[in-house]
Every structure is written in C-alpha cells, then in structure tokens.
Chain A
Amino acid sequence: MTIQLLQGNHACARGALTAGCRFYAGYPITPSSEIAEIMARELPRVGGKFIQMEDEIASMAAVIGASVGGLKAMTATSGPGFSLMQENIGYAIVAEIPCVVVNVMRVGPSTGIATHPSQADVMQARWGTHGDHPIIALAPGSVLEAFELTVKAFNFAEKYRTPVLVMMDEVVGHMREKVDLPDAGSVEIVNREMPSVPPEWYEPFGNPPSDVPPLAPFGEGYRYHITGMLHDPRGFPTERLDEIQPWIERIFRKIDRHLDEICMWEEDSVEDARVLIIAYGATARSARQAIKIARARYGRKVGLLRLKTLWPFPEEAVERAAEDVQRVIVAEMNLGQMALEVERVVGRKKVVRVGRADGQMVTPEQIVDAIRAPQPQAVSLRVAVPW
C-alpha cells in the first residue's frame, strides 16, 4: 500500500489491471484518453494487449472478440464514441459477452465541449442500444471509487455475462486525489465460470439454476455458435416462441435476482432529514457541501443519497430514503434524467430538479437555493427550460 496522488482516469485503469483486464481496444477521445494511454503502456508489461482501433464501433467489436477469446476486456470513451459503441453494446448483451465500457462523460449533444463535464449520458446508458434489455451502469464519485467500481464492473461483467458501463463524469476522470489503492491480493476478483460438462452437453445459452450459463472461450474444444440474432440454448438463431421467451426472461432475471449485490449507494445525514438530495458522481460532492451549508447556516435538516449504481435503478433505496422527507431534490449535470426515475419511484412526493447542461458543475449554492426555495416545486436549472 502506497499513498499516491492519482487522477480518476488513472485509478480506473489501475482498477482494470487489478481486476485482470488483459485487453483494451479504443479510439482516442477527450476526456478519456489517459485511460487508453495507460493501458497501452501497462498491458504489455503484464502480457496483455492494447490496440488502437479505427473507430469506436471497431473498438467495441474488438473488445467482444477478445472476450470471446477468453480475455477480460474493456474500452473507454466519451459521448461521441459512446454513441458509436451502442450497436455492439447491444450485441454483447444479446450474446452475453462480459466486457467493460467506461464513458468519461463530457457535454453534448454531438461534439459539445470536449473538456467540460456532464452527466447527460445516463439515459443513453440505459436505452442507448435498441431493443429491450437489462444493463448495469456504475457511477464513481471519487478517485478511489473510480478504482473500486472499475473492479466491480469487471466482477459483475464476468459473473453475470454482460457488458457493464462505468459512467464517470469528466470531473471525477480528471480530478486528482490522494489515494491508497489496495494491493491486488486484497481485492475480490471474480472470473467467468467455465463449463464443467463435456462439449456435447455444453449449452452456452442454456438455462442453469444460476441463470448465467458458463462461457467457454473459443479454441478450447467447445465449438459453438454466437450470434446477435435471438437464439436457442445452443446459440443457433431461432424464431420459436418457446425458445425465445425463456431466453428473454432469463437475461433480465440474471440481473434482477441480484439487485442486492448490484445496487450500491451511500447515505449521508439521512436520519433526521426533511429534505433528501439524490446525486451521483461529482455532483454528490457539491451536494455534500450544500448539506453542510444548509445545516450550519440555515438549520435545515438535509440528507444525501448518493447512487453508485445508476442501472438497474436502486428503487428500494430511493423509496426508503425518501419515505419520511418532505421534499426530494435530484442534482445532476443534465436537465433532469435520473430525476425521471426518482419521480417514478417516489410517487406523488415533490421532486425538485437541480441541474445544468452548460459544462459546469452543479454548485453547492445552486443546491442550497433549491433547499431554501419557498415553493418546493421550483425547478432550479441553469438554462431557460420551458416547464
């Protein structure tokens, strides 16, 4: 254990290496490029491989190919690249290929502002690829957490045979903090389950009690078919309802059954809170400051629910934390995306959105204003929005 001054992006790369990532394919984009540069340097030192692909579509494809070959694989990007990756993220979901995609979020839409932060891709994380599907997305709020949640992302990917998204905002990605990263030996690492049956019996998309069929890497004697088409337990395309239906149910169930493990959050000063702030990533840091100010200066009882998992949405945690408060404030660097989920969950309780889309952080003052606003329905957005 050594104390170091690290950037979020650096900690993310270190987390990936610790988790056993041995393949990285990517395309340069601010504010994520440091991750690629570190992986280019470090992977060959541990026998792993880095490749700079021709675009993000290819990067995502190569990541899946390498994972099919048995390596833990990842890519990192930002909004424009994340848009290009959506097609093959969907492929990884359907083909149940473990992999990790980091999106260091910058302001959009389109090229936006390359160097300024945002959290406006969180709904894209949920629904960016077409078709009904489950997804896991995590949001680190500090440099240490960039390390920890990247490790978790690999563990979830391997355990549940699914792509996992790490939705890091530019502030966390580029911020430097003093961290004490755990030694490799003291971190829990999960590896995908290999089949224990002979090849003739192997069902790469079967329906085992765990809901996660073992995944044999190519070249190990288990010759099977992988496709982005809906498929039967052996992997062959099918249109039979009695084969499609169980498959669809299973890919949702394999995640839904484990919400206790996957949904992570942190509470701060919620015991006596009358106002609950819900935030994630760097915005939660502003929220913490806002709570201090509101409590010390104005005597307001305010608490924070910080989401570390965005998807699946930690419904129960939100419901519970919001139960006894009068007002819920959702602070995020967008114009109200996760707020929609909070509104859905807290029912008729008033949800106040505090956000902005101009590439600046939500400030503690902005949140304090929302806490103190006489009308709870006031919306504090830093742009003129017609509602």
Chain B
Amino acid sequence: MKQDDQGIYEYLRHHKKFPHVWCAGCGIGIVMGSLLRSIRNLELGRDDVAIISGIGCAGRMPVYMDFNTLHTTHGRALAFATGLKLARPDMEVIVVMGDGDALAIGGNHFIHAARRNIDLTAVIVNNSIYGMTGGQSSPTTPLGAFSATAPYRHIEQPFPICQLAIAAGASFVARGTVYHVTELDRLLEQAIQKRGFAVVEAVSYCYTTFGRANKMRSPVEMMRLLKENSITVQAAQKMEKLPDGAIVRGVLHNEDKPEYTELYDQIIEQAHGQPSPRKRQVRRGWA
C-alpha cells in the first residue's frame, strides 16, 4: 500500500495555483490527494484525463490538478462531461462535485447520467452543507441539524446519495470517508476503471460552517466522528439493524451493463454510409 505523496506532486499545478482556497483542515484536499493517488496508481496519462467540476468549494479542485480541467457552472458538470465524453470516448472523464452541486441544482443531471450509464466517474464530496456560500442547508443536511438557513433546525430528509445512484442505474457505487484514505484511494481506482457510470460518495466535513453551527468546531473532532460512525459494508451486512447515523463504507453496487458511448458507437456502425432511414410517421403533438 503506497502512501508516498511525492508521487502525486507532479500532478499538481504547484507553482501556479497554490496556496489553495480551502480552509486549513478541510476534507476536500484529502479527496484531491486520494484522487491523484488513484490516477497515479492506475498509471493514466495526464493528457488522457479530464477533470470536470461544478461550483462550490469541492468544485475548485480541478484548478490545482494538472490535467485537462473544466470548471463549469453550478450543478451542470455532469452535462458538460457527457458532451466531452461523447466527443472523446478515449478520455478518462472524472467529475468532482459538492453535495449541493450534484444533488440539488444538479440532481436531474445526476440521475440522468446514471440512467444513461455513460462512462463517467462522479466523485461527490459530501460535507452535508453548502460550504462555499457560507453554510446553508444542502440536500444531504441531516434532519434536525442547524445551518445558516435552518436556524431553528433542518426539517427535511437528506438524500441517500448511493441508493439514489443505484436506483437511477449507475454501474458502480461506493462510499468512503476522508478519514479512511487508503480505502478511498482503492474505491476511486475501482470507480475510474469501471466501464459505465461510477459514483463515489466521499464523506467529508465542513468544520467552518456545518461544524460551527452544530457544535463541532474542529476538523479533528469531525474526523473522529467519521471514524466512530462508519462501518464497512461487510460488517453492516452482518447486522440486523444499522445504528443511527451509520456511514457504510465500501463498494455498495457493482454491475456490468451496456455503456452509453459503446452503444452509440454501435449506432454509428449501423448507420454509417447507409441511406437515411425513412422518417417514422408519428402523430405529431405540439407543446
């Protein structure tokens, strides 16, 4: 198990873009390190990797990484990535999003990318809050928590990201945490290698906003919670009932099914050079 971070130094735009924008002790940097190690371990060429993100603290990740990087609009990263992947099916396209980015404003794109089973790797940094805008509620804010827009307490149910991804049709779904870094490296490696839509929920924390609003003021304290509250898939399977707030880590779903860009290549093969098929006559509705 390699943990030498010297090897990922070359993947950083170190002389151009540091220091980074994140609060000292934020988990996002840990996810970035994990992602870089997994790319290195898979020996992917830097020119063959595209990192696409939306808007938010997590969305700032690509600027520091020396690949083809596209920082898009809030929530739309997967839709941009879909276009790029269709144009360059040979490229490894990795999409990094915050929980709000992926599931609130981008929720529709998320389920449809999963449904199409297009070969993208979606990394969702779940810190249960809108970090960048100052700690407002997100679709993963737990019931009863406090946030800048839930000053009395949050009264909405959080999205179970992984279940949502499985139900929507993703090929590979896994959850890791920023405490269990080596495991996160392995999960990301598997996700990147998967042909099809692969989701990794990287459970992180935002001590600056969520922590402050919920009486957890230090990164260390929040890290400890990740350690104490999480269990492996294997352990979870043996339990009759999961404890409240348990974070189940590991590969939750892994299935082989037809991938979108491969299917489209078959369409091209079928249509290429053929006469145009007769337009199917359908009754026309208007709207």
Q: Residues on A close to B: CB < 8 A? A: 23, 25, 29-30, 37, 41-42, 44-47, 49, 51, 53-55, 57-59, 61-71, 73, 87-88, 91, 111, 114-115, 217-221, 223-229, 234, 236-237
A67–B88 Cα gap in the complex (Å)?
10
Besides the known contacts A25-B83, A227-B71, A234-B16, 7 further A-B residue pairs in the complex with CB atoms under 8 A apart: A23-B83, A30-B286, A53-B79, A54-B79, A87-B73, A217-B88, A219-B68
B87 on the interface (CB 8 Å rule)?
yes
Contacts of A73 on B, CB cut-off 8 Å? 83, 87
Contacts of A234 on B, CB cut-off 8 Å? 16
Contact mask for chain B residues 216-247; partner A; CB cutoff 8 A; 1 contact, 0 none: 00000000000000000000000000000000
B6 on the interface (CB 8 Å rule)?
no
* Residue from B62, B70, B108 having most chain A Cβ neighbours under 10 A: B70
* Residue from B76, B91, B271, B276 having most chain A Cβ neighbours under 10 A: B76
**Are B83 and A228 closer than 8 Å at their CB atoms?**
no
Contacts of B86 on A, CB cut-off 8 Å? 23, 49, 51, 62, 65-66, 69
B86 (CB) vs chain A CBs: closest residue:
A49
**Are B109 and A54 closer than 8 Å at their CB atoms?**
yes
B68 (CB) vs chain A CBs: closest residue:
A218
Q: How far is the CB of A133 from chain B (nearest CB, A)?
A: 15
B3 on the interface (CB 8 Å rule)?
no
Point out the residue from B72, B81, B112 that lies within 8 Å of A91, measured CB to CB.
B72
**Are B264 and A49 closer than 8 Å at their CB atoms?**
yes
**Are A115 and B286 closer than 8 Å at their CB atoms?**
yes
Contacts of B108 on A, CB cut-off 8 Å? 54-55, 58
**Are A219 and B50 closer than 8 Å at their CB atoms?**
yes
**Are A45 and B80 closer than 8 Å at their CB atoms?**
no
**Are B274 and A236 closer than 8 Å at their CB atoms?**
no
**Are A42 and B66 closer than 8 Å at their CB atoms?**
no
**Are B286 and A71 closer than 8 Å at their CB atoms?**
no
Q: How far is the CB of B73 from chain A (nearest CB, A)?
A: 5
A227–B79 Cα gap in the complex (Å)?
15
Contacts of A226 on B, CB cut-off 8 Å? 69-71
| A225 and B69 contact, Cβ closer than 8 Å, known pairs A44-B271, A45-B271, A236-B17 | yes
A69–B73 Cα gap in the complex (Å)?
17
B38 on the interface (CB 8 Å rule)?
no
| A219 and B73 contact, Cβ closer than 8 Å, known pairs A47-B268, A61-B79, A65-B84 | no
Contacts of A87 on B, CB cut-off 8 Å? 73, 76
Q: Residues on B close to A: CB < 8 A? A: 16-17, 46-48, 50, 52, 62-63, 66-73, 76, 79-88, 90-91, 108-109, 112, 264, 267-268, 270-274, 276-277, 279, 286-287
A237–B63 Cα gap in the complex (Å)?
9
| A225 and B91 contact, Cβ closer than 8 Å, known pairs A49-B86, A65-B83 | no
**Are B81 and A65 closer than 8 Å at their CB atoms?**
yes
Contacts of B80 on A, CB cut-off 8 Å? 61-62, 64-65, 68
Point out the residue from B67, B84, B90, B277 that lies within 8 Å of A41, measured CB to CB.
B277
A326–B72 Cα gap in the complex (Å)?
51
A64–B86 Cα gap in the complex (Å)?
12
**Are B88 and A69 closer than 8 Å at their CB atoms?**
yes
A55–B105 Cα gap in the complex (Å)?
13
Q: How far is the CB of B71 from chain A (nearest CB, A)?
A: 4
**Are A58 and B79 closer than 8 Å at their CB atoms?**
yes
A223–B91 Cα gap in the complex (Å)?
13
Q: How far is the CB of B56 from chain A (nearest CB, A)?
A: 13
Q: How far is the CB of B16 from chain A (nearest CB, A)?
A: 6
Contacts of A217 on B, CB cut-off 8 Å? 87-88
**Are A69 and B286 closer than 8 Å at their CB atoms?**
no
| A69 and B112 contact, Cβ closer than 8 Å, known pairs A44-B270, A45-B273 | no
**Are B91 and A219 closer than 8 Å at their CB atoms?**
yes
Contacts of B272 on A, CB cut-off 8 Å? 44-47
